[in-house]
Amino acid sequence: MAEGWPKKRRLLGTKIRRIDGPDKSTGRAKYSYDINRPGMLHGAILRCPHAHAKITRLDTSAAKKVPGFQALAMVLPPKDWLVVKADEARKTLELKSVPSKKKTDKAEQRTVTVGPGVTILRGNKPVTLADLKADDLVQVEVEQDAVGRELFYAGDEILAVAADTEEHAQDALRAIQIEYQVLEHVVDPAEVLAKPGLHTTPLPNLSPGKEFTKGDPAAGFKAAEAVVEATYGVGVISHQCLETHGLVAEWDAEGGLTVWASTQATVATAAALAGRFGVPPGKVKCITHYMGGGFGSKFGPDVQGVLAADLARRTGQAVKIMLDRHEEVIAAGNRPSAYGKVKIGGKKDGTITAYAIDCYGTPGYTGGNTVNLNFLPYVYQDAIENFTRLHTVAFTNAGAARAMRAPGHPQNCILTEFAIDDLAAKLGIDPVIIRRKNLPPNNPKANKIDWAGRRNDIYNEQIDIALKLSGWKDKWHPPGQGKAGVIKHGIGMALHTWGGNAAGGTTPNECFVVIAKDGSVIAESSTQDLGTAQRTVTAIVVAEVLGLQPTDIIVKIGESTFGFSTGSGGSTTCPTQAPAALLAAQQARNDLFKKVAAKLGADPKNFAIDVGKVVDTKTQREWSWKEFCAKLGMDEAKGKGEWNLAISNEPGNENISSGQVGGVQTAEVLVDTETGLIRLQHIVAVQDCGLVVNKLACESQVAGGVIMGINYALFEENILDKTTGRQVNPDMEFYKLGGLKDMPKITVHMQDMPERGVIGIGEPPTISTAAAIGNAVFNALGVRVPILPLTPKRVLDALAKGGQ
Amino acid sequence: MKNFTYYQPTSLSGVLKVLDEAAGKAEILAGGTDLLDRMKEYISQPEKVVSLVGFSGPFKEISSIAGHPPTVTIGAGVKLVNIAESELLRPYPALTSAAAQIAGPQIRNMGTLGGSLCQRNRCWYFRDEHVQCLLKGGRRCFAHDGENQYHAIFTQGHPCVIVHPSTLAPPLMVLGATCDIRSHKAQRQIPIEQLFQAPVKDGQREHTLAPNELLVSVTIAPKIPPGATLRNASYEVKQKETSDWPIVQASVAYYTEAGGQVAKGVRIALGHVAPTPLLSPAAAKVLEGQEVNEKTASAAAEAAVEGARPLSQNAYKVQQLKVAVRRAILLASGAKPYWEG
Amino acid sequence: MELPQVGPHEVGPHAGLTRCIHLQSKAMAVYGEGFTADPDFQNDLTDFTCLKTGRPLGPDNGPANLTQCCNAERDCYEEY
């Protein structure tokens, strides 16, 4: 049984500044984007300019004459072959397929005429015909094989080049002669619904709807005292990571690969590259010391990382490919849209008698599952007796979606919470009454300290806090009935929920702590700090156990070789890494006590840590930390911590980490009814997260989530042109992101519940902000602006319609 | 990026000589906030780039604000931040407030007056390397039937429906500014309205300067009788308060005589609503000789949007423009802003 | 090669056992072989990548997902 979190918290739960803050603010911290290796080349990717096309001609010869050109690699990987015969005189290479275990495998043969546009690789090195003998395992890339390839969006990758400078690489791309057969495209999901037979994407554009019904919605609507029908929605947005996707790849003389990658998963990225290039995983190292944001979009090398490593193996030089802003927006993932026809019925006492939604959205050209809305109706699902939902995926010729901070939740939240306020207006009641009435009940069978066992109580307490901090009682008024004047004031609320398995997967996350005889302490893990302050979290936990300060701990993270860690997704990093660090530090401390006790002839059980010192509780003798550690002599003290779901479920471990949180947010807005502009006044975010490790970082996470919510509520949207199929705003100019002046006062209230252990909160705080803002605008105007972002155009359009 | 020859002459006359010899193949580099973007994005690939900044700093002919109000001359190389903060320009809040709100501090610290007036448009089709629009030798304007929420609402007779991007042009127009334009062998002055044109094809710019000409300075000289008080203001509708383009902009200037409240010499200009910044004589006429109040300001605003022909997605800009004109007029009069809650 | 035209929602029943070795997803990067415990995965919110291409399409330019990458007849399929 684990010792658990210290009963008395000295550092935990307090506000502690990031230990790497000075490094980041002075530029000493090197991000992957900052890495430049000796002799490094720059890669650039050729992308399809059309939304849907086939390659009809490809001639790369002019590109290869551009000054500084070094190598070219195709996106579709070369196949493995066995050499039958390499004929130098005829310049031909006879190949046969590699036998596999597949039952259906047919032996294939191919003869390739070797010349420009053909590359032969053996063991990740380019070779010539003269180097080859029969039965050599080779990869043969024939550039002309790309002719006929179908491309599915404006931005689809075709090939990459490497050159000595970025400019030369760009010039080489533009020297490539390529022609396309332009095919029919569609970028608007509504058009997909209107034309069911479309097939412009890898799978047919329209994916059959998935339906789910609970109870008897028809009866529920019949029992309602008011029913509202409306359409709500939110467009596609991009992750807009400040550090774009990409990496620097460098092969060593022993055939090993090192990459400096901007990734949320050092271990998975290294493993992916090892698999791709047939290298033992132990020979691939992924380094991510600092990272400029991922938000769910950076879990592997991606095509640009694979291409950089491919170009590096061909040239024998390091190659860097970091996407530019345009590429980042169109090709590095996005959040699917969701538009829903909603019908909601309820009673004056707040009961929602039925909820029905028919919705659709687009995840781009493939990867459709990301758009699913299984949480509908959101938050209140367990209390609402009758509901039905139908969801349709509409593939479009646009970049593919990826997980984005709380996948699915923000869309679900909007499609539920908007309807609640509209229903409240029709019933003539404060929407808080509906929220309270339909909160999910406590599960009597669940553990009382867990979310499920007390979620109703937590939500009610959170609503109380939010009402108080926002001044709701004095500020709320029936929709559209605030003070007269062109500037209308409004206040709105929304709820969110998050999480399940927060303690990671099958292989436990590891953390190692080593105490040296000089008293220095190293904490090491391959885990990565996405900007969430994970480095500081590890330092705080270890320092708490050892009676030191966080800045005393040397935290080495962000290298895939530092023990196992899982990707930073699903808000799992803190709830896996903090326990691993806790166990490692406790074990290292025990090891220290044991080794020093032997030297002093003392009983290790009598040693206790105090701040900066160790005390023998029997003799009352004290040593400073350094004095005590010096007694290690030539030894060192070590500990290893491991944590995952299975370990967290072991008896006695239930207070160390857990999952599932709720949150309540309110927004207060001013709307200029003449210009359609919305100015935010105040956001209140109430959030539970179990045991707070670092209150400052926790509050920063929540504020960051709120800011992200504000941005997709008011500003952000991928705008695609129907004629060209191209995104018109792949930038930060017309893809709008708020600045400091656009941000309101943000009040964060953390509910510290140490008995629940550590829970990750990277995702939850961004979920309900936009729905709260949308509801505040409705409260101000008395008119629903149904689609996010709430642009001035949409506000004015809604006002014009509402006035009729 | 195409290789180019970089010129850094040591004098203004050196610049003019290079421009004369370049015969249209040169781009002028001042703050670089527009040109570098265009070059990196393969929108412009000039053979020659001529810097307006000498080794010892910007040439003095283009880098100072000088004169005595009401007449003040601003060099084309003056940075936006220095216009916003100029003591000499204090009587012209229409101009200084507009300069203070352009983009963000980084842009204002680099961008110049000349750059603001002579920059290329921000149309997202024009700025896309892979779209061949009218201004890049193509046959059609994609904005006409495409994504046009930020495009022109005064579209009549314009095959290309960009909006002119200068936020300094409308205030300078209402302040009666003239441009000093020089070439290797000549010099001319034109009213600032004549600096702009609506481009319709490849090779045409949003300004009327010949390829060998340089805008050297702009002189503000509002015509007001002795003893009269100049009143002026600009109002912009911007979605974001940080680093955003105005959706619409209105500038207004007029004078009142001692003891009088009646607006005279009214000039009203509209920005970001047409391929050129627009003077609105119709709106000015409605306000001329009237006492300024919400009613007269609204009447002028109605006149300002008369004849607007919005595109499929930007009718909302007509409403916003009306509001901007009304609010600019009221701001100029010193009335308490009714729109500040 | 003709790929079966299956919608993205249909997840193979023994997906974990028969999938191609090069199939990857966020849930797998986070939970390893325990990826089916991922709440996103359970709610069909996971998008897949082919490790051979680094893209959501495989080496044959067909979709990478749990249905299509359990198809042993696909040219690029490699048994786990």
Cα A15 from Cα A6, distance rounded (Å) = 17
Average pLDDT, chain A: 95
**Looking at the partner chain, which of A275, A307, A408 has a beta carbon nearest the beta carbon of C22?**
A275
CATH of the domain at B304: 3.30.390.50
Reported as a pLDDT band with limits 50, 70 and 90, residue B97 is very high
Contact between A505 and C30 under an 8 Å Cβ cutoff? The reply is yes
Let me know if the fold of A241-331 is the same as that of A334-500+659-802: yes
Which pLDDT score, from 0 to 100, does residue C9 have? 37
Is C10 an 8 Å CB contact of chain A? no
Q: Which residues contact C34 (CB under 8 A, 6 or more apart)?
A: A501, A505, A506, A644, A645
What pTM was estimated for this model as a whole? Answer: 0.96
Which pLDDT score, from 0 to 100, does residue A369 have? 62
pLDDT in tens, A733-761: 999 999 999 999 999 999 989 999 999 99
Measured CA distances, A28 to A34, A248, A266, A531 (Å): 10, 19, 21, 15
At B179 the three-state DSSP class reads strand
pLDDT, average across residues A562-584: 94
Residue of B247, B291, B101, B279 lying closest to B175 (CA atoms): B279
CATH of the domain at B169: 3.30.465.10
pLDDT, average across residues A24-52: 97
Which pLDDT score, from 0 to 100, does residue C21 have? 92
**Looking at the partner chain, which of C31, C65, C72 has a beta carbon nearest the beta carbon of A506?**
C31
If one looks up domain A241-331 in CATH, what number appears?
3.30.365.10
C near B: at least 3 beta-carbon pairs less than 8 Å apart: no
User: Under an 8 A CB cutoff, do B320 and A167 touch?
Assistant: no
Chains in touch with C (3+ beta-carbon pairs under 8 Å) read A
In a domain? residue B26: no
Is C80 an 8 Å CB contact of chain A? no
In a domain? residue B125: no
Which pLDDT score, from 0 to 100, does residue C11 have? 44
Judged by phi (left if over 0) then psi (alpha if -120 to 50, else beta), residue A12 lies in beta
Encoded tokens for A282: 């132990």
Look at residue A500 and tell me whether its pLDDT is greater than 70.
no
Which pLDDT score, from 0 to 100, does residue A448 have? 87
Residues 32-61 of C with CB under 8 A from A: 32-35, 37-40, 42-49, 51-57, 59, 61
Residues 237-256 of B with CB under 8 A from A: 237, 239-245, 247
Cα A450 from Cα A473, distance rounded (Å) = 31
pLDDT in tens, B129-157: 999 999 999 999 999 999 999 999 999 89
- How many CB atoms sit inside 10 A of residue A571's CB? 24
User: Under an 8 A CB cutoff, do A677 and B313 touch?
Assistant: no
In chain B, the residue whose alpha carbon lies closest to the alpha carbon of A155 is B130
Which pLDDT score, from 0 to 100, does residue C5 have? 33
DSSP string, A258-286: EEEE--S-HHHHHHHHHHHHT--GGGEEE
- SS3 for A682-726 is EEEEEEECECCCEHHHHHHHHHHHHHHHHHHHHCCCCCECCCCCC
Reported as a pLDDT band with limits 50, 70 and 90, residue A803 is low
CA distance A174 to chain C (A): 23
Encoded tokens for B312: 């499929």
pLDDT in tens, B26-74: 999 999 999 999 999 999 999 999 999 877 777 888 999 999 999 999 9
Domain boundaries, chain C: 15-70
Which pLDDT score, from 0 to 100, does residue C15 have? 47
Which pLDDT score, from 0 to 100, does residue B297 have? 98
If one looks up domain A334-500+659-802 in CATH, what number appears?
3.30.365.10
Q: Name chain A contacts of C45, Cβ cutoff 8 Å.
A: 369-370, 372, 374, 403, 407-408
Looking at the structure, tell me whether residues B68 and B101 fall in a common domain: yes
Reported as a pLDDT band with limits 50, 70 and 90, residue A380 is very high
User: Under an 8 A CB cutoff, do A742 and B240 touch?
Assistant: yes
pLDDT in tens, A693-707: 999 999 999 999 999
Encoded tokens for A258: 């090192």
User: Under an 8 A CB cutoff, do B247 and A674 touch?
Assistant: no
Looking at the structure, tell me whether residues B263 and B326 fall in a common domain: yes
Q: Name chain A contacts of B128, Cβ cutoff 8 Å.
A: 724, 726, 728
- How many CB atoms sit inside 10 A of residue B229's CB? 13
Q: What angle do CA B22, B27, B32 make, to 5 degrees?
A: 155
Higher pLDDT, A804 or A77: A77
Reported as a pLDDT band with limits 50, 70 and 90, residue C62 is very high
Contact between A479 and A426 under an 8 Å Cβ cutoff? The reply is no
Lowest mean pLDDT, pick from A30-39, A103-112, A289-298, B80-89? A103-112
Cα B270 from Cα A318, distance rounded (Å) = 53
Percentage of chain A modeled with pLDDT above 90: 92
Q: Name chain B contacts of A792, Cβ cutoff 8 Å.
A: 237, 239, 247, 316, 320
Interface test with A, best of B320, B321, B322, B326 (most A CBs within 10 A): B320
Q: Name chain C contacts of A288, Cβ cutoff 8 Å.
A: none
**Could you report the predicted ipTM of this complex, rounded to two decimals?**
0.96
Which pLDDT score, from 0 to 100, does residue A1 have? 59
Cα B33 from Cα B20, distance rounded (Å) = 24
Reported as a pLDDT band with limits 50, 70 and 90, residue A118 is very high
Which pLDDT score, from 0 to 100, does residue A733 have? 96
Look at residue A804 and tell me whether its pLDDT is greater than 50.
no
For residue B256, what are the domain limits? 229-333
In chain A, the residue whose alpha carbon lies closest to the alpha carbon of B247 is A792
Residues 93-122 of B with CB under 8 A from A: 104, 122
User: Under an 8 A CB cutoff, do A202 and C59 touch?
Assistant: no
Look at residue C3 and tell me whether its pLDDT is greater than 80.
no
pLDDT in tens, B187-243: 999 999 999 999 999 999 999 999 999 999 999 999 999 999 999 999 999 999 989
Judged by phi (left if over 0) then psi (alpha if -120 to 50, else beta), residue A268 lies in alpha
Indicate the residue among B150, B185, B220 that finishes a domain. B220
- Give alpha helix (H) positions in chain B: 12-22, 35-40, 80-84, 93-100, 105-110, 113-118, 169-174, 281-287, 294-304, 316-333
User: Under an 8 A CB cutoff, do B237 and A724 touch?
Assistant: no
Which pLDDT score, from 0 to 100, does residue C1 have? 31
Q: Name chain C contacts of A102, Cβ cutoff 8 Å.
A: 72, 77, 79
User: Under an 8 A CB cutoff, do A570 and C39 touch?
Assistant: yes
How many separate domains does chain B show?
Answer: 2
CA distance B10 to chain A (A): 29
Domain boundaries, chain A: 21-30+502-556+565-648, 241-331, 334-500+659-802
Is B320 an 8 Å CB contact of chain A? yes
Cα A139 from Cα A269, distance rounded (Å) = 22
pLDDT, average across residues A652-668: 93
Which pLDDT score, from 0 to 100, does residue A184 have? 98
Look at residue C14 and tell me whether its pLDDT is greater than 80.
no
Q: Name chain B contacts of A170, Cβ cutoff 8 Å.
A: 1, 42
Which pLDDT score, from 0 to 100, does residue C4 have? 33
Size of interface A-B (CB pairs under 8 A): 95
Residue with tokens 């010129």: B7
Look at residue A102 and tell me whether its pLDDT is greater than 70.
no
Encoded tokens for B247: 């959706």
pLDDT, average across residues A505-523: 96
Which pLDDT score, from 0 to 100, does residue C18 have? 81
User: Under an 8 A CB cutoff, do C57 and A504 touch?
Assistant: no
pLDDT in tens, B265-290: 999 999 999 999 999 999 999 999 99
**Looking at the partner chain, which of B122, B245, B319 has a beta carbon nearest the beta carbon of A796?**
B319
Looking at the structure, tell me whether residues B258 and B323 fall in a common domain: yes
User: Under an 8 A CB cutoff, do C30 and A570 touch?
Assistant: yes
pLDDT, average across residues B6-21: 95
In a domain? residue B28: no
pLDDT, average across residues A668-692: 97
Q: For A592-622, give one letter per residue: b (16+ CB within 10 A) or e.
A: bbebbbeeeebebeebebeeeebbbeeeeee
Which pLDDT score, from 0 to 100, does residue A499 have? 80
User: Under an 8 A CB cutoff, do A792 and B237 touch?
Assistant: yes
Which pLDDT score, from 0 to 100, does residue C2 have? 36
pLDDT in tens, A588-598: 999 999 999 99
Backbone angles phi, psi at A262, to 5 degrees: -90, 95
Encoded tokens for A210: 């998935």
Looking at the structure, tell me whether residues B255 and B216 fall in a common domain: no
Is B125 an 8 Å CB contact of chain A? yes
In a domain? residue B19: no
Q: Name chain B contacts of A796, Cβ cutoff 8 Å.
A: 316, 319-320
CA distance C64 to chain A (A): 8
Q: Name chain A contacts of C57, Cβ cutoff 8 Å.
A: 152, 202, 366
Interface test with A, best of B36, B39, B128, B338 (most A CBs within 10 A): B128
pLDDT, average across residues B311-334: 98
- SS3 for C17-75 is HHCECCEEEHHHHHHHHHHHHCHHHHCCCCCEEECCCCECECCCCCECCCCHHHCCCCC
Percentage of chain A modeled with pLDDT above 70: 98
Cα A671 from Cα A794, distance rounded (Å) = 12
Q: Name chain A contacts of C34, Cβ cutoff 8 Å.
A: 501, 505-506, 644-645
Q: Where are the beta strands (DSSP E) in A117-269?
A: 118-122, 125-127, 137-142, 150-151, 157-163, 177-182, 206-214, 226-234, 237-238, 246-251, 257-261
Look at residue A101 and tell me whether its pLDDT is greater than 80.
no
Looking at the structure, tell me whether residues B234 and B257 fall in a common domain: yes
Looking at domain A21-30+502-556+565-648, its CATH class is alpha beta
DSSP 8-state symbol, A14: B
Which pLDDT score, from 0 to 100, does residue A106 have? 74
Which pLDDT score, from 0 to 100, does residue A501 have? 65
Which pLDDT score, from 0 to 100, does residue B261 have? 86
DSSP 8-state symbol, B77: T
Is B341 an 8 Å CB contact of chain A? yes
Q: Name chain A contacts of C63, Cβ cutoff 8 Å.
A: 202-203, 366-367
Q: Name chain C contacts of A393, Cβ cutoff 8 Å.
A: 7-9
Looking at the structure, tell me whether residues B200 and B263 fall in a common domain: no
Reported as a pLDDT band with limits 50, 70 and 90, residue A724 is very high
Q: Which residues contact B248 (CB under 8 A, 6 or more apart)?
A: B236, B237, B270, B271, B272, B273, B317, B320, B321, B324
CA distance A101 to chain C (A): 8
Residue of A800, A695, A309, A138 lying closest to C53 (CA atoms): A309
CA distance A253 to chain C (A): 23
Looking at the structure, tell me whether residues B188 and B241 fall in a common domain: no
User: Under an 8 A CB cutoff, do A300 and C48 touch?
Assistant: no
pLDDT in tens, A324-354: 999 999 999 999 999 999 999 999 999 999 9
Interface test with C, best of A157, A158, A299, A373 (most C CBs within 10 A): A299
